[in-house]
Structure 1
Amino acid sequence: MKKLFLYVIGSLIIQPVYSQHLIKGTIIDSENTVMPMVNVAFLNQADSTLVTGAVSDSCGVYSTSLAGGNYIIRYSYLGYETLFRSIQVNAHLTLPVVKMELAQTELEGVEVTAYRKPFKLDREGITADVPNTILARQTTLDDLLCKIPGIQKRGEDIEVIGRGLPTYYINGREVTDQTELDNLAIDQIQSVRLVTNTGVRYHSEQRAVIEIKTKRLGEGLAFNVSGNLLQGNYLSQNYKMNGSYNYKNWDFFLSYNYDRGKKDSNLDVYQQTQSDTIWNLTDLTRKQIFNESHAYTGGVSYHFSPESEIGLKYEGKYSEGNTFSKDTLSMIPDKGTSTFIRNLSDVSDKSVSNHLNLYYTNDWKNGWKMNAFGDYLHKTDRSRGNIREWESDGVETSMDYYRKADWDLFAAKLNLSYETGKAGTFSFGYDFSHTTGTDYIEYVRALNNGSTSNTEMKNSLYLSYDYTWNQLSLGAGLRYEHIRSDLKENSSHKNQNQTYHNFLPSVSLSYNTESLQQSLTYSVHTERPPFGVMNDNAVYTDRFTYQKGNLYLKQALTHDLNYMLFYKYLFVSLR
């Protein structure tokens, strides 16, 4: 009797799972080409309420699971007629292929066909229009970006395939803090442009650029508050506030972002070093990381016309965190005595940054366009740490350290272009930046103290020409950079002065038709080490390991050859 009771209860629990049936199908257009990103809604036949939904993938295939019953399927896509189909579900089903037809509207005997492509390929990359497309339905900026061909998310970072982390621009202004992107609402975005052929208009270190253009809101007051709580191993919190007031030609805006979270990070390292003695290293690291940050933005802009604007913007950020780590390390040689170490590290850090930006843009409608930007950025980092070690004999070693870094950046940028019409477009630009900073580290009862000063001045000029004839577009440009870098190790008075004269050409060719778009580009870029590793400071990890910078690192030149093809919904990139 007991077994029978358990069988009945188990059947009641399992029955809903087994009653689910797999439903799948394929969607094509009037030219028998597969259609991705079509919305497929499954409605209850009795009251037309939504039961579940799906979106067709890059092969035009959609799938979902449904319980047995009668349903109505609704197929919808912008610019196409909405279709309805009735189905009865009592088993796994592969539905007939659905053909979507373009929507047509008659107006006084004139037939108008509306169809909007979300993506467009040109010589520099891909442009995605956001309003009235599938992109406008995304909830976060990361979700939107991952729908653009060539962009993927790896971990918590957005990457451009083959080119690493991109540089972001909003309305032509370079983004210096990720929080500004986090505060950007989807309904504020007009278009997103992925530039894989950065050419001469951008800094030579920038291998991929994402340009975001926003819409101007209507007159009045707008205010938005949102929050997010995520419970995993720990509770993470994020709260955002955005406000704006637009009156005639004036725009006032502000935002605030609070973020707080904790996470675990584990890393296991196994390494063998071969010399006269073979050393076998095993390092097991367990970290707990806590971060809390406050970011705030405010500014004002004045519109002389829809194409002309001047503005002032301030961005500030304060963050603090703590990292506690436990290391278990063993160093075993093939001959001699083995060493076993247990290491506890407790590091707290604080960071403060302030960024002031002045900008002016104008399109005179007679062929001339101008963008001008000026920036001042100051950043301060402070950290304190304590390291305690126990070796196999039980002897304890303790070490405290203090580290600080201060950086100032002055930058200016001018872009000027003239579109002649039949003779093409000429563009000219000038970039200036001056960076100064000091990186200092002090160990208590240790000899790894250090202080390094860095100063860099960069002047850049570029000239480019673009010409379009029917479906064919040509582009060529040359960028010149003069860079002087002075590095000084203050305690030992070692100096490293470097001067670069870089001539960086770029050429591109593209051919676009209604269904086929392709481009071929060649460009030269520089790769330079960051200031954080161009110093003589030593960071202690354990008695076997420490990290030290290098004053003598130099730049490298990279030659890029890239081919891209966009055929209907197929995207190919060869680099």
Structure 2
Amino acid sequence: MIKISMKINKILVALCFFVIIVSQIASARNIIARDMGANKGDVPANIAILDSDSNVVAKNMTGISDSTAISLSDVEVIGHRKNIKLSGHNLLVDVEHDSILNHQNDIYELIGKVPGVLHLGNSFNVLGKGAPVYYLNGRKVRDQSLIDNLPVDQIKSLKIVAMPGADYDTSGSPVIDIKTKILGDGVAFNAIGNITQAKHLAYKTGFSSTYNSGKFDLYGKYYYRRNNASESSDYDKQVLADTIWNKMQHIESLTHSGSHTYSAGMTYHLSDKSELGMLYSGMYTDGKVETRDTFCVVPNAGPAYYLFDKNKSKNNLLTHHVNIYYDASLNHAWHVSVVMDYISKASNTNSALMENHIGTSSEVSYMGHSKWNVLASNFHATHDFGKWGTLGMGYDFSYSEGIDKIDYERLKFDGRFENKEVKNAVFINYELPLGDFSLSTGIRYQNLYSRRKNEKASVIETHSDNTFLPSVTLSYSHGLLVQNLSYSIGTERANYADMNDNVTYVNRYEQSKGNSQLKTAITHSLSYLLMYKSLFLTLNYDYIYRPLLPVIYSLEGNSAVTVSSQDNLSHRQALAAMLNWRNTYKCYTASLTGFFQKSIMHYPGIDGTTFHDGHPSTILNFDNDFKLPKHFLLSLSWQQVWGGYMESINVKSSSSVNLSIKKSFLNDRLRLSLDGYDIFNGDRNRACRQIYNVRSSFNTKYETRKVGLTLTYRFHKIKERENQTSAEVEMKRLGIPEE
């Protein structure tokens, strides 16, 4: 057997009668193995391309002479593509060629199946670092509806960054950067309908369309969503003061909401390496919330008090968003990106609260109006020095102003509030390849200025923060082993609408209060990532200086009233580990994820004592996907949460099981998905905590057990235009599978 190492994308095999063209995928090495025939003049009996990502096997070719005619129908081609890999400090996910990921109903189901991502309630924990910030084609997403309604078949790949560098405007949060496909010539049109039944019915319907002609890409979307959902919560509080107050509260709420989202845009390709784009998106939502609240206050001495509340609220929100961008590669070394966003939001609220307390009733009504305008822009540039690495630099700017009006009889503050915020940031980062190693380092400086004016009280509050945010990553890659170690500094700033001393009336036993002395929290993060074959490991350590923490305490002079607020503690530490194993065996793909988090924090207790976080929390997630005949895809997932402490809150155990079956028809133009969520109704939000002199616990149940049916029809499939190498063209021509 003779082994020939290939680094070019085609080779002529055997006496000019048979040609096979292969490509080098990623950086893997391909080897041709030849089993020579027994007789002189015979050509190789078997030809195989072997590497870590793909292989090609030819059969029925033993003892072939040079005069034998062979057609490609005699060749069986088998290929395997590694769709998820770690590159430096980025987790790269090839959605386009993963037949499990690209058959999910929406972007959030897709993300929830990526290794290293846990779907917790209505949010994600990404690589143990918390909720992500979304980017779309390298540009920060400022309108979440663009992600909510992004069709899965338009997604090419995901880049998940646990420790973003200085070029990302995320304040230390992880990043999910979504890359979409480049449109080919012609029209594509998708229609989608979804209906979900729990206790109440919810549905979504809409369409998306794209059109390309020469240098122009045009696209548009419209979706309507109607949601009806109920929520049930039980709260228990015990106030340890001069009198021990036991408070029991039961809340039932019913929400009806509808939303229209729409967008239209164009891209003009100035050349193969530069483009100019413009997008408009808008959303209108209206909703109605009805809440019934039963409140019982029982002191350790004296009579009990009962409070019955009924709240009816109506609201609407109108959003406009305009995005303009220019993206270009210059002289094969420079890459320039310029982005501008303008966002306008206006909301109106009408609410009526009726209280019944000790035989007497009262009604409090309020009307609220808010209007916000945001202008943001950035300029980013990178220069590729070849073997000497890549240098990046940029400037980010944002300006926002808003007006809040409220007329509320029993609110301790009312009137008109004006808010302004200005952010300026500059950064520089450098990446250097060093053989099997690579080094990435950068620093970001940002100034954040905010101004809040209470016109009624003629009070102006201003805050200014200046921060330097360095980051450094060292990566190592050799064969199937990839590792990286990262350090960065991030910040968490309280909403400046809370940075005041105003008191808000909730009911006669509860208040919420601002805190004008809140400081920006600073997080020092150390992260280690490792990928080897099917294993993926992340380890994180965070040290948070002045962490922001919700607190609750009894009101001085009236201990029956509790006050909710925010405060800075001295420090907090957190250890987190996530281990994922994902492997495919024939038609079965299994993904097992374990997550462990230990919080180390001390916080104030009763009468000057100190409490601390207890045992860690642990989560196990097990996904199973079966590719069945006739284009069926069966998926079964199970998640188990074992209780533990997360930032002073002792979270209780819960579990959920989801089941779905998907089927493709008409050459994958029609897709049907039948989904069952939380089949055993075990997904509950239960927790307890004690801080200062208040012990509290809550148990909240949403409509998590439900069944859904989703139908997607693609009248014209999206055609992709891309600059392919000749090897990739031949891979497609020969029919080599892409996964």
TM-score by length of 2: 0.62
8 Å contact kept, 2:159–2:176: yes
Q: What residue in structure 2 maps to residue 185 of structure 1?
A: 151
8 Å contact kept, 2:104–2:110: yes
Asked if residue 123 in structure 1 is aligned to residue 88 in structure 2, the reply is yes
The Cα shift of 1:364 comes to 2.5
Q: What residue in structure 1 maps to residue 57 of structure 2?
A: 104
Q: Say which SS state the counterpart of residue 498 (structure 1) adopts.
A: strand
Of 125, 130, 153, the residue aligned with 1:159 is: 125
1:45-85 CA-partner distances (Å, limit 9, x unpaired): xxxxxxxxxxxxxxxxxxxxxxxxxxxxxxxxxx999xxxx
Asked if residue 349 in structure 1 is aligned to residue 315 in structure 2, the reply is yes
Asked if residue 222 in structure 1 is aligned to residue 188 in structure 2, the reply is yes
| 1:504/1:486 CA distance change after superposition, 3 Å | same
8 Å contact kept, 1:476–1:506: yes
How far apart, in 1, do the equivalents of 2:253 and 2:515 lie?
Answer: 27
1:212-267 CA-partner distances (Å, limit 9, x unpaired): 11112221222221111112211111012111221100011110110001101111
8 Å contact kept, 1:448–1:537: yes
Q: What residue in structure 2 maps to residue 324 of structure 1?
A: 290
- Structure 1 window deviating more from structure 2 (256-265 vs 134-143): it is 134-143
| 1:153/1:446 CA distance change after superposition, 3 Å | closer
Of 484, 487, 497, the residue aligned with 1:522 is: 487
8 Å contact kept, 2:412–2:504: no
- 1:526-541 matches, cutoff 5 A: 526-534=491-499, 538-541=503-506
The Cα shift of 1:210 comes to 0.5
> Any gaps of 5 or more consecutive residues in structure 2?
1-48, 71-75, 541-739
Asked if residue 470 in structure 1 is aligned to residue 435 in structure 2, the reply is yes
1:127-179 CA-partner distances (Å, limit 9, x unpaired): 11122223333332223212222112122333324322211111122223332
8 Å contact kept, 1:205–1:528: no
How far apart, in 1, do the equivalents of 2:472 and 2:77 lie?
Answer: 39
- Structure 1 window deviating more from structure 2 (505-514 vs 537-546): it is 537-546
The Cα shift of 1:496 comes to 2.1
Q: What residue in structure 2 maps to residue 511 of structure 1?
A: 476
Q: What residue in structure 2 maps to residue 436 of structure 1?
A: 401
Asked if residue 247 in structure 1 is aligned to residue 200 in structure 2, the reply is no
| 1:306/1:101 CA distance change after superposition, 3 Å | closer
8 Å contact kept, 1:297–1:313: yes
How far apart, in 1, do the equivalents of 2:287 and 2:365 lie?
Answer: 17
- 1:384-533 matches, cutoff 5 A: 384-391=350-357, 393-444=358-409, 447-533=412-498
8 Å contact kept, 2:282–2:321: yes
How far apart, in 2, do the equivalents of 1:246 and 1:291 lie?
Answer: 35
Q: What residue in structure 1 maps to residue 707 of structure 2?
A: none
How far apart, in 1, do the equivalents of 2:521 and 2:490 lie?
Answer: 8
| 1:501/1:459 CA distance change after superposition, 3 Å | same
Q: What residue in structure 2 maps to residue 93 of structure 1?
A: none
- Structure 1 window deviating more from structure 2 (498-507 vs 154-163): it is 154-163
- Structure 1 window deviating more from structure 2 (202-211 vs 232-241): it is 202-211
How far apart, in 1, do the equivalents of 2:467 and 2:312 lie?
Answer: 44
- 1:202-351 matches, cutoff 5 A: 202-351=168-317
The Cα shift of 1:451 comes to 3.2
| 1:130/1:365 CA distance change after superposition, 3 Å | farther
How far apart, in 2, do the equivalents of 1:222 and 1:114 lie?
Answer: 29
8 Å contact kept, 1:362–1:370: yes
Q: What residue in structure 1 maps to residue 538 of structure 2?
A: 573
> Any gaps of 5 or more consecutive residues in structure 1?
1-78, 82-99
State the one-letter code of the partner of 1:321: G
The Cα shift of 1:428 comes to 0.3
8 Å contact kept, 1:166–1:206: no
The Cα shift of 1:452 comes to 2.5
How far apart, in 1, do the equivalents of 2:219 and 2:144 lie?
Answer: 18
State the one-letter code of the partner of 1:384: N
TM-score by length of 1: 0.79
State the one-letter code of the partner of 1:482: N
Higher relative contact order (Cα pairs below 8 Å, separated by 6+ residues): 2
| 1:490/1:163 CA distance change after superposition, 3 Å | farther
Q: What residue in structure 2 maps to residue 368 of structure 1?
A: 334
The Cα shift of 1:102 comes to 4.0
State the one-letter code of the partner of 1:476: T
1:290-316 CA-partner distances (Å, limit 9, x unpaired): 110001101111012233110110110
The Cα shift of 1:548 comes to 3.3
Query: How large is the Cα RMSD of the aligned pairs?
Result: 2.5
The Cα shift of 1:507 comes to 0.6
8 Å contact kept, 1:451–1:536: no
- 1:48-67 matches, cutoff 5 A: none
Q: Say which SS state the counterpart of residue 136 (structure 1) adopts.
A: helix
The Cα shift of 1:202 comes to 1.4
1:371-399 CA-partner distances (Å, limit 9, x unpaired): 110011111121111001111x3111111
State the one-letter code of the partner of 2:536: F
- Structure 1 window deviating more from structure 2 (196-205 vs 487-496): it is 487-496
8 Å contact kept, 2:446–2:467: yes
- 1:14-163 matches, cutoff 5 A: 102-104=55-57, 115-134=80-99, 135-163=101-129
Using the aligned pairs only, state the percent identity.
34
